[in-house]
Structure 1
Amino acid sequence: MHGLLVYSSSRLNVMQCVQRHAVFVCCTLQTCLLYKFCFFCLMHPGKPLYISSKHKAKNWGMAVNVYSTSITQETMSRHDIIAWVNDILCLNYTKVEQLSSGAAYCQFMDLLFPGCISLKKVKFQAKLEHEYIHNFKLLQASFKRMNVDKIIPVEKLVKGRFQDNLDFIQWFKKFFDANYDGKEYDPIAARQGQDAIPPPDPGEQIFNLPKKSHHAASSPTAGASRLSSTTPKPTTPTSRPSSAKKIPVAGSTPAKGEKELEAQVVHLTEQVNTLKSALEGVEKERDYYFSKLREVELLCQEQGEENAPFVDRLMEVLYASDEQDRAELAEGEEKDGNQHEEGPDGQQEEQDEY
């Protein structure tokens, strides 16, 4: 009995020693890890503790979706929109149509959600339609990655039409305001030295015709001189004055051709400048009337149920297409014609009664 008690007590002592040793080892490991962490913080101040791109992707979260309607849509002018884009991304765009390359939208997504799109793949110097489509595919992938519900009308945007690009950039401005957190961003450094050249304007291309005409005109004279040197000289002296007379005639025809081509270039350049000024005037007039119609639409929406018939009729006029306008005009002419036909019959019936 005494032996059993001694054995049990010794076993308890061994267990206690093992537990104490385990606790000591755990405390030692924790202390070592703490010292290692402090040493790392001292040697690398300000360095983040996570570097993996997977952790970075998890920190994006979800983008705030915005929906643009006739009520919520901002009425920013095209000049304000372009100024805003140039100010944020340090670009030199002059027209809304130049946003059709898609490069600016890709860099906006990199600004809002760093790392969601690879700017190395973006073609900032895109000049052709298939390059625009490449940029918009990258934009669509970033939208999908950030759970953005907006559907990008790529086929319309790459055509470079004013209204399509204006509608999309106005929506993107609202999306930017809803997701921007105010952090600093260096757009030039983010592009890694790539020059963001805006797409070329077809109206500004002027062909250098005088140089081509000069080379084309110089070739006949050279051929004529070679032919004159290779052909045998006639024996009769009367043929020499005739050949001497033909030489200045061959040299004078190219000079006349050059002058005519230069005059055509000057005339075509004047026509291009005239059409440019006329187009600018038409665009200003279009923007003016569009803003007026927009104000009328907002007033109709503010009226609500008051003056409902008048407001409904006015909204129908605003949203009517050309085909509807023609159909309504045809119906109105038919009604007027029927009234004119019924008028004389009624007068004859009254005269018969009398």
Structure 2
Amino acid sequence: MSSSSLSASSSAFCGVSHPLAPYGWDAQWESEFAPYAEQGCLPGRVVRVDRGQCDVVTADGVLRADTAFVTPHDPLRVVCTGDWVAVDPEGGTPRYVRTYLPRRTAFVRSTSSKRSEGQILAANVDHAIVAVSLAVELDLARIERFLALAWESGAQPVVVLTKADLVPEPVTLAYLVQDVETAAPGVPVLSVSAERREGLDVLNAVVGGGTAVLLGQSGAGKSTLANALLGEDAMDVQATRDVDGKGRHTTTTRNLLALPGGGVLIDTPGLRGVGLWDASSGVGQVFAEIEELAEGCRFHDCAHESEPGCAVLAAIDSGALPERRLDSYRKLMRENQRIVAKTDARMRAEIRKEWKRRGAIGKAAMEAKRGGPR
């Protein structure tokens, strides 16, 4: 594409003149798609994927396309909801997705498979909305887990505390928000009541103009929240159990929907398991205060367990750092190392070396305790 045509394309996207602009199409996507446009392909965004086929919204409407040409062995490279794709022009039966454009962001988790495969949940996301129900006791460790995946994806996370109308005391609600803010440094934390339509204007302002993915456990109120943002009952809603606040999977597929006030929402099924997938930088961002404290430790490879001169342990002793935060940090880091080690020989060697080092330290401590050589 020439510089003049790209400039004209950029000016066209100052408004919403392009049919795909409400779905996030912009001058940069236009430029990246140019080679496929020359081949006669049509641009579109995947709004739903289902067993080798997908629904794609194009300038001519929503069409069904086959993904047989984009089915590599790597599960992270399959077509997913949120992808921008090149589709065959009208006339072919079936019509095929020929490729997808390079993803700006990708939300990935590990599967429960023993093969340690990753699963991509959504692509080209600007905001990751982590929905947390206030109808049950807060699980801060689970929130931290969601946030680690969100930061790793490249999206900006937002924690939304749903069903705020079930917390009658404003003081209690303020304390709950504060607890979550402690577990989510640098992340906006909003309390919302979809039933009373409280807090929705703030959330709309946060996600408007970009693509947001809605995440959370079953029963977190995601479908109700999605309906409130859409202004219509587009998603089915089911009641949660009174015993534990859990719900059945209301949403069974990932669906991309344009919001009336601007922006795009990807609704996802409730996630029972949220495994990390090579998310070390995401974990570091969630626990930024611990990593900052670690810079003051005497030893650069300090494990923050019993080493002398550990700034992290000193912060716990002084009360500046909650011990729960360190426990959660250790757990997520260990889990992430195990996932990476299954596909990274160098990481496996480093973990074995660390085990030997700790074993030697423990043995030396026992010998010193018995009065033997130190």
Question: Whose strand fraction is larger, Structure 1's or Structure 2's?
Answer: 2
TM-score of Structure 1 vs Structure 2, range by shorter chain: under 0.3
Q: Which has the larger radius of gyration?
A: 1
User: RCO (CA 8 Å, sep 6+): is it higher in 1 or 2?
Assistant: 1
TM-score normalised by length of structure 2: 0.20
